[in-house]
Amino acid sequence: MEKEYFRPSVTVDSIIFSIRDSQAENYRKLPKKELQILLIKRAQEPFKDKWSLPGTFVGEKEKLEEAVNRSLEEKTNIKNIYLEQLYTWGDPLRDPRTRVISTSYMGLVDSDNIQIKAGKNVGDIDWFNIKLNTLKQSNKEKKNGYCKTEEIEIILTNKNETLKSKVKVVKELVNGNLIIYTQILQSDLAFDHAKLLIYAIERLKNKVEYTTIAFNLMPERFTLTQLQQVYEILLDKPLLKANFRRKIADMVIETDQQEENAGHRPSRLFKFNNNWQPHIF
C-alpha cells in the first residue's frame, strides 16, 4: 500500500564559535582577541584523523535539536548553550559513503566558562583561530543584476596545526534577490565542512548588527571595552568608543564592580540587561 521511497541518512553538525584571548603584549596593553571555532578530530572513517565539526546521525525518535545537544554533550562535553538552526545541506555527493543530508546549527559560547573534553569517537578536540583571506575578487554586471565572485582562503590554527581551505563564493543578485553558491576548491576539513563554516560566519556577522547575539560570547560580567572588541572582531572594523557606548547603552546594566591592577584607570564591569527587548518582540 505504502510506496517505498528512498531514505537518506540525516545528520546535524554544529559550528561553535567563541572569542578568545591570543596574547598580551605588555603589562599595559589589553590582550588581543580573536574569533575561534571548536573542532574535533575524527576517530573513524571516512576522513579518519581529519578535523571536523562536531555532529551526529539523528536518532529514530529524536528531534533535530535533541540530536545537536546530544552530539555536543557526547563529543565535546558542552551543554545548555545557545544554538540556532542555520541551513540544511543536501548535495547528493557531499558525503563519500552514501547520501547524507545535514542540518547545521550555530552555537556561541564564552570559552572561559566551559570545559571542553574529547568524547565518544573523538580523537582530539581543540579551539582553532579563524582567519579569512580574500585571494581573488571579481564583480560582473549582468542584465538583471550583478555577479560577484570571491575566492576565500580559510586558515584555521591551533598551537600545533594549520588547516587551510579554499572556497569559491559566488554571490548573484538576480532581480534584487541575493543568491549564493559555494564551492570547495580545496580543504583540510572533513566533508564539506568548509562550506558550512563560511555560511555560519556570514550569518554570525549579519546577526550581530540587529540582535544581542554577541552577548553569548561574553562572560557574566565584562567591561565595555571587552564588549567593543567582540563587536569589532565580528563586524571586522574599528568602532568609535563614544558612539559604541551610546549604541549599546540600553542593553547593559552597570554593576558596582571594577577591574583592577590593569596598568591604567580601572574600568567598570557591566552585565547584560535582561529587560532589553528587540524591536520585533
Residues in contact with DNA by CB under 7 A are 26-30, 223-225, 240-243, 245-247, 258, 260-268
CA distance 111 to 16: 10
The DSSP output letter for 159 is S
Cis peptide before 46 (omega within 30 of 0): yes
Which residue carries 550583478 as its cell? 146
Q: Report what 91 binds from its own copies, DNA, none; CB cut-off 5-8 Å by kind.
A: its own copies
Residue 28 contacts which entry, DNA, its own copies, none (Cβ below 5-8 A, type-dependent): DNA
Among residues 88, 113, 162, 258, the one that binds its own copies under rule CB under 8 A: 88
Q: Coil, helix or strand for 62?
A: coil
Binding flag, residue 30, its own copies (CB under 8 A): no
Rule CB under 8 A: is residue 186 a binding residue for its own copies? Answer: no
Please report, as residue ranges, which positions from 50 to 79 form the binding site for its own copies (by CB under 8 A). Answer: 57-64
- For its own copies, the binding residue among 87, 124, 163, 203 (CB under 8 A) is 87
216 contact, one of DNA, its own copies, none, CB 5-8 Å limit per kind: its own copies
Residue 231 engages its own copies in binding (rule: CB under 8 A): no
**Number of chain residues interacting with its own copies (CB under 8 A):** 52
**DSSP 8-state symbol, 222:** B
Within residues 121-150, the interface with its own copies by CB under 8 A covers 143-146, 148
Residue 118 grid cell? 574529547
- What residue 215 binds from its own copies, DNA, none (CB within 5 to 8 A, per partner kind)? its own copies
The residue ranges of DSSP E strands in 175-279, in sequence order, are: 177-187, 252-258, 268-272
**Range 238-267, binding its own copies (CB under 8 A):** 251
Cell numbers that stand for 178 in this block: 541575493
Query: Nearest-CA neighbor of 259 among 225, 234, 235?
Result: 225
Which residue's CB is nearer to DNA, number 142 or number 241? 241
Is the Cβ of residue 27 or residue 281 nearer to DNA in the bound state? 27
Q: How far is CA 211 from CA 123, 231, 273, in A?
A: 36, 12, 13
Pairing label, strands 9-21, 100-108: parallel
> What is the number of alpha carbons within 13 Å of residue 160 lying toward its C-beta?
4
Q: Is 215 in the site for its own copies (CB under 8 A)?
A: yes
Q: What's the CA gap between 228 and 217, in Å, rounded?
A: 12
- Write out the residues near its own copies by the rule CB under 8 A: 2, 5-10, 57-64, 82, 84-85, 87-88, 90-92, 97, 99, 101, 103, 143-146, 148, 171, 173, 175-178, 206, 211-213, 215-216, 251, 272, 274, 276-278, 280-281
